[in-house]
Amino acid sequence: MTITQNEEKEIEEFLFAGQSINEATVKKVILENRELKEEIKKMQELMPGYLKDMAAIDAKLLELENREARQKLNDSFIKKLADGKIPLSFARGHVIEKPEDIEKAFTEASNEYAAVKQEFINQGFSQE
């Protein structure tokens, strides 16, 4: 077994620390150290792929969470329209990105519905 210069330094540091060792122990430590270094190198080579995969998983998870949050906001808006007896067709075109947008969109939809109702009334067609 040939010992590299770095391994010689490690042995010297080990001996300097006052440890008593024999040749078999030295060989065993060197072999274990080499195996560990090889494993570390393999893991480092695999790491970029894992990190890329994790980033993709994180992005997908964030997308799903955002989609779910938007769906909940839209459901709240639709419920508010139904409670206000405003047809769902007036929900079109309103983008709800945060809870504060629900009230604004409801007011706009309500005003649009009132304008359409008034137009029908003005033409002689009552919708109620």
Q: What tens digit of pLDDT does each residue of 41-69 get? A: 888 888 888 888 888 899 999 999 999 99
How deeply is 81 buried, as exposed, middle or buried, from its count of CB atoms within 10 A (0-12, 13-18, 19+)?
Answer: buried
Indicate the pLDDT class of residue 90, thresholds 50, 70 and 90: very high
Domain positions in the chain are 5-122
DSSP run (H or E) holding 50: helix 23-83
| Identity of the amino acid at 119 | E
Q: Is the pTM of this model over 0.85?
A: no
Q: What number is the average pLDDT over the span 73-86?
A: 94
pLDDT at res. 124:
79
